[in-house]
A and B are shown apart, each in its own frame.
Chain A
Amino acid sequence: MPYQQKLVTVAGYTVLLLTAAIFLFVAAQAWPFFRDQVDLSFFTGDRWLPVSSPPSFQIRGFLVSSFMITSMAIVVGCPIGILSAVCLAELLPRQASILLRSVFEMTAGIPSVVWGFLGLTVIAPFVARVFNLNTGLTGFSAGLVLSVMILPTLVSLADEALRAVPREYAEASYALGATRWQTIWRVIVPAARGGIVAAVLLAMGRAIGETMTVLMVAGGRLTTPGSIFEPMRPITALIAAEVTNAARHSEQYHALFAAGLVLFSITLAVNAIAAAVIVGKKAEA
């Protein structure tokens, strides 16, 4: 093997090793916490009281918040994202879709703290007024901002999946007398289904992992929210808010790593399913 090729191979394996190493590190830091747990109250309890004596570390509220906000982002973001992708891939003239595509890619570069600031100053007061809430800093506002933030991921991947459908499919459909509309919805979109599902899953992974925006906009209530219109705090925001103050190897430090391990496992699972869908689709074709 020439040395350039070796170098590339090594680089590839390094990424794999790094991911595994990070997972192992997080697991090792979380282990002392799980070792001392006698029951499942870490997952089912609602008391996160790090500075009380005795302290208590239970994450049900944060899990539920992460789930609510991610669901909201997906429910609002998906229809918009998939329709945009169809529009880009099938309806717009070539020049216009190239321009729009680069606009979408540019949105991906907006730092999440800027989105958070936008949510804090514009979206939250708007939500509070429209729904007549006590405060606009709610899971709903955070989900709304996130639904826009996941669009670049969603649109570019779904767009790619749609464009990968062989031209012959559309031509065959037209030859049978189908209209453009029928061809798009009955032939092209179903053919790209696997890729679109993968796009949704990857966007979901992005939404679960988003930190800064939810820390700023979701409201920061530490208990299980009763509805999406209440203040809440997802796992990512919990870790970001508290990790700086946890003394190394204190109980809080290990508990935060335990929460991190749960989060890591969820995103890993979502991404693995997405990868499986993509691989499955390739095998089919």
Chain B
Amino acid sequence: MKKLLLLVLILVVALFAAGCQREGTIIDINGSDTMVNMGAALAEEFMKTNRNIEVVVSGGGSGTGIAALIDGKADIAQSSRDIRESERAKAKARGTLHEIIVAWDGLAIAVHPANPVKELTMAELAAIYKGEITNWNQVGGNDAPIVLLSRDTTSGTHVFFKDFVLDEAEFAPATMMMPSTEAIVQELAQNRNGIGYIGLGYVRPSVAILGIRADDTAPAVVASIEAVLDRTYVLARPLFFYVIGEIKGDLKTFLDFVLSSTGQKIVRDLGFVPIK
């Protein structure tokens, strides 16, 4: 019995010691679920050439990341939306706040492939999500009710869509909040009357992407990396890194890598749009 106890004790101490061991510095990145795969891919590539720096990436949502940055629990907050005024004030109390655009993301508007509607104006899209347009025949489609799909309120994408498309108005009460973009794609693939917004990286052949017109006279543009790059596609948003305090040392090395051509190629490979 005593031997067993001793053994357990030794194991616990050994595990603890192993956890504490660190060779170089650790950069903690936290935030947007949209960006978590991108951050992880960048970190992995970066660590191949910078073995003394460990970059740890975790998700949870843009709000979570910014909260962690303010609390000093993260070195970089990944965010798919602007920092809010209240958050900015709290961050500034701790030091200079740096906002770095590391990539762009295009939001595609997806429907079932059999839907005859091929394009919408931004105004129509807003009216649909506010619940003012409720039938597809009001925008040139079949006589069928529109099934509204959205990401959950935790998502930076939800907040961006609400700010940018709905101009901060509320989503229609009928909107269905889905726990993931994957769930939206899944439902759209089998629901003929559904509509949903998804990041460019999630576009699959099982759904059709609508062309979007900025206004009545503008041409319809289908979301693509090229269309976001040349600014012809309106439904695009910047993806941010937020940092508090002076950027120097290993943190600077990492940020330089992210903005370098190698880093930006990784961004593009993951379905996001590079900054240049």
Interface members, chain A 195-237 (any B CB < 8 Å): 215-216, 219-223, 231, 233
Contact residues on B (Cβ < 8 Å of other chain), bracket? 20 to 34
- Contact partner of A221 among B61, B175, B179, B194, CB < 8 A? B175
- From A52, A128, A231, A245, B176 is in contact (CB under 8 Å) with A231
Complexed CA–CA distance, A262 and B61 (Å): 26
B63 at interface by CB-CB < 8 Å: yes
Q: Is A105 an interface residue (CB 8 A)?
A: no
Asked if A134 contacts B61 (CB within 8 A), the reply is: no
Distance in angstroms between the alpha carbons of A246 and B64 in the assembled complex: 7
Least CB distance from B68 to A in Å reads 9
- B176 near A51: Cβ-Cβ < 8 Å: no
- Within 166-214 of B, Cβ neighbours of A (below 8 Å) are at 168, 170, 173-179, 183, 186-187, 190-191, 193-194
A220 contacts B147, CB within 8 Å? no
Which residues 64-83 in B have Cβ within 8 Å of A in the complex?
A: 64, 67
* CB of A96 within 8 Å of the partner chain: no
> Which residues of A are found within 8 Å of B183, using beta-carbon distances?
120, 216
Question: Which residues from chain B contact A134 at a C-beta distance below 8 Å?
Answer: 144-145, 147, 191, 193
Contacts of A221 in B (CB 8 A): 173-177
CA distance A220 to B158 in the complex (A): 14
Nearest-neighbour CB distance to chain A for B160, whole angstroms, equals: 11
Q: Which residues of A contact B67 (CB under 8 A)?
A: 247-248
- Other-chain residue from B153, B159, B162, B193 in contact with A242 (beta carbon distance below 8 A): B153
CA distance A169 to B154 in the complex (A): 59
Q: B176 contacts A137, CB within 8 Å?
A: yes
| 7 residue pairs, one from A and one from B, having the closest CB atoms | A245-B154, A247-B67, A245-B61, A220-B177, A223-B173, A231-B176, A220-B176
- B residues sitting closer than 8 Å to A (CB atoms) are 60-61, 63-64, 67, 144-145, 147, 152-155, 158-159, 162, 168, 170, 173-179, 183, 186-187, 190-191, 193-194
